[in-house]
Amino acid sequence: MKLVPGRRLPALALACALVAAAASPAGAAAKIQRIVSPGGIEAWLVHEPSVPVIAMDFAFRGGASADPADKPGVANMVTALLDEGAGDMNAKAFQERLQEQAIELSFASGRDRFRGTLRTLAENREEAFALLRAALAAPRFDADAVLRIRGQIVANLTRESTSPNHIASKRWWATAFPDHPYGRPADGTLESLPRIAADDLRGYVRRVFTREGLKIGIVGAVDAETAGRLVDQAFGSLPAKSGLAPVAETKPQGIGQRISVDLAVPQTVITFGGAGIARSDPDFFAAYVVNHILGGGSFSSRLHREVRETRGLAYSIYSTLVWLERTAILSGSTATRADRAAETVALIEQEFRRMAESGPTAAELERAKTYLKDSYALGFDTSSKIAGQLVQIQIDDLGIDYVDRRKALIEAITLEDAKRVAKRLLDGLLFVTVGPAKEAAVKKEGG
């Protein structure tokens, strides 16, 4: 957060209030209220009057998948430009009003959703929600701001063009989802960014910033009636229906391929992934537990034990479940010495095969279930985290009582469930390695 000289007291007050909010009990999430604003907009609210802060998260359907096919990167540019002037305020005036009241406003775009966050002292709520409304309903996209932000993004993309992690990730998604929005670079490309104009940004806002599919989570010192009024103030003037083109269901392609990209770097980066399980699938929690045992449990996982502890091939390795609106994947990554990349790939495949064939042990299952039940509270230890969880639960359509039901859903998973789902989940991988070709023993299929 930026501070303006002579205007430090509001920022300090907000910082102190956020520290106090972090000490709020995780049980606050159990007091979720479903509210509907006078204008008919639904939001979930956790009223916490003990801390004078309001935190709000929200999400529109769209994200990078709503970018024009020939201009990836539009959503990403919008995220960086919404606070660069709105209504009758240019970038300087807008930023000064945020800073004077210590209002935190930020935006981010994923593949399916465009998300935003608002943090403010309760006493500044009217100003905060008015500024958010201006940013969403009347962004300026002034020529100088567009030029400056485009230059910053191009500079980032130029740096990333030599980053093995970014190269591996982009190559994996492009191979897994060819001719699909998920396969396009969400941040754009060095070719697409110069062609994105202010009209493209305005067109994106018209398509995506609507009340249709809007999800909102609010936490803090605000009652239901006031929260409803503020929701209408921020979002009520947006169009009722979106202009989004449909995105097709898809599954990752290229399973079984080994792609090597030649890059002169000290270590070889290995990105891998395969088909996952949808969040709405009855087997999701069994898959979640299986992945935790295999590669999601950090220092306790099989991949960590075999790849790092037993053989010393890598400092870290992980796998994770990723669920999107139109697909689901299991993804992972590590980095190792170039001359041991082939050995590492073979070991990852071996551990996936072993889990698919035999499943976890009873002891592994019980440890994973205990950890996943007990650690969930860490996602509710600040107002900001709670607001984000409220939005994610709505996006995943889990129900307002999900927080109360989650522990029982995990506890119900049996060893037979875990073994059955392991066979279903761990069915082949697409590997992309990025590193020196002369040392790679993985077949090169492109670079």
- Domain-by-domain residue ranges, the chain? 8-235, 258-439
Q: Are strands 113-121 and 317-323 parallel, antiparallel or unpaired?
A: unpaired
The Cα–Cα gap between 189 and 180 comes to: 16
Q: Are strands 104-109 and 430-435 parallel, antiparallel or unpaired?
A: unpaired
**pTM confidence score:** 0.90
Q: Within 10 Å of residue 442's Cβ, how many Cβ atoms?
A: 20
428 Rama class: left (phi>0) / alpha (psi -120 to 50) / beta: left
pLDDT at 438: 64
Q: Is 341 exposed, middle or buried (0-12, 13-18, 19+ CB in 10 A)?
A: buried
The Cα–Cα gap between 416 and 419 comes to: 5
First to last CA, the chain: 41
Which amino acid appears at position 130 of this protein?
Answer: A
- Give 187-224 as a DSSP string: T--TTTGGG--HHHHHHHHHHHSSSTT-EEEEEES--H
Contact 41, 214 (CB under 8 A): yes
Helix (H, G, I), strand (E, B) or coil at 106: strand
Torsions phi, psi for 140 (to 5 deg): -85, -40
**Tokens 């996006």 label which residue?**
395
Torsions phi, psi for 31 (to 5 deg): -100, 45
Sheet with 215-220: strands ordered across: 32-36, 42-47, 215-220, 53-61, 113-121, 104-109
**Tokens 């009758």 label which residue?**
88
Read off the tokens for 441. 């023993």
| pLDDT in single tens digits along all 447 residues of the chain | 333 333 334 544 554 454 454 444 444 455 999 999 999 999 999 999 998 999 999 999 999 999 999 999 999 999 999 999 999 999 999 999 999 999 999 999 999 999 999 999 999 999 999 999 999 999 999 999 999 999 999 999 999 999 999 999 999 999 999 999 999 999 999 999 999 999 999 999 999 999 999 999 999 999 999 999 999 999 999 999 998 999 999 999 999 999 999 999 999 999 999 999 999 999 999 999 999 999 997 788 999 999 999 999 999 999 999 999 999 999 999 999 999 999 999 999 999 999 999 999 999 999 999 999 999 999 998 999 999 999 999 999 999 999 999 999 999 999 999 999 999 999 999 999 999 986 444 444 444
CATH classification of 8-235, choosing from 3.60.20.10, 3.30.930.10, 3.20.20.140, 3.30.830.10?
A: 3.30.830.10
Superfamily of domain 258-439: Metalloenzyme, LuxS/M16 peptidase-like (3.30.830.10)
Q: How far is CA 334 from CA 86, 201, 250, 268, 338, in A?
A: 42, 36, 26, 9, 12
- Domain 8-235 and domain 258-439, same fold? Reply is yes
